[in-house]
Structure 1
Amino acid sequence: MADTQLVPHDPFESLHKQVDRLFGSFFNDFSIPKLQLRNGDLVPKLDFKETDKAYQIDIELPGIPAKDVEISVAKGILTVKGEKKGESEEKRKDYIRIERSYGCFERSLALPEDADDAKIEAASRDGVLTVTVTKKAGTAHATRKIEVKAA
Structure 2
Amino acid sequence: MNLVRFQPRQGYTAPAREDASHPYQPLSRLHNDIDRLFQGFFGDFPTPFGGLRDMFSSLPDFLPSLDLKSDASTYTLSLELPGVAPEEVKVELNNGMLSISGEKKQEESGKDASQHVQERCYGSFSRSMSLPEDADVEHISASHKDGVLTILIPRKAPEKPQSRAITVTRG
Q: CA distance change for structure 1 residues 13 and 127 in 2, over 3 Å: closer, same or farther?
A: same
TM-score w.r.t. length of structure 1: 0.60
In structure 1, C-alpha distance between the alignment counterparts of 2:105 and 2:90, rounded to whole Å: 15
Answer 1 or 2: which has greater helix percent.
Answer: 2
Superposed counterparts of 1:49-128, under 5 Å = 49-89=69-109, 95-97=112-114, 102-128=122-148
Determine whether 1:132 maps to 2:152.
yes
In structure 2, C-alpha distance between the alignment counterparts of 1:40 and 1:58, rounded to whole Å: 19
**Greater Cα radius of gyration, structure 1 or 2:** 2
Q: Is the 8 A contact 1:87 1:101 kept in 2?
A: no
In structure 2, C-alpha distance between the alignment counterparts of 1:39 and 1:18, rounded to whole Å: 17
Letter in 2 for 1:96: A
- Which residue does 2:66 correspond to in 1? 46
Q: CA distance change for structure 1 residues 133 and 15 in 2, over 3 Å: closer, same or farther?
A: same
Shift of 1:88: 4.9
Q: Is the 8 A contact 2:80 2:149 kept in 1?
A: yes
In structure 1, C-alpha distance between the alignment counterparts of 2:72 and 2:95, rounded to whole Å: 23
- Which residue does 1:30 correspond to in 2? none
Shift of 1:74: 1.1
Q: How much is the aligned-residue C-alpha RMSD, in angstroms?
A: 3.4
Identical counterparts, % of pairs:
37
Count matched residues.
109
User: Structure 1: any 5+ residue segments left out of the alignment?
Assistant: 1-10, 20-37, 141-151
Shift of 1:106: 0.5
TM-score w.r.t. length of structure 2: 0.54
Q: CA distance change for structure 1 residues 139 and 71 in 2, over 3 Å: closer, same or farther?
A: farther
In structure 1, C-alpha distance between the alignment counterparts of 2:36 and 2:127, rounded to whole Å: 26
Shift of 1:61: 0.6
Answer 1 or 2: which has greater strand percent.
Answer: 1
Shift of 1:47: 0.3
Q: CA distance change for structure 1 residues 13 and 64 in 2, over 3 Å: closer, same or farther?
A: same
Letter in 2 for 1:15: F
Letter in 2 for 1:116: D
Determine whether 1:15 maps to 2:48.
no
Q: CA distance change for structure 1 residues 121 and 40 in 2, over 3 Å: closer, same or farther?
A: closer
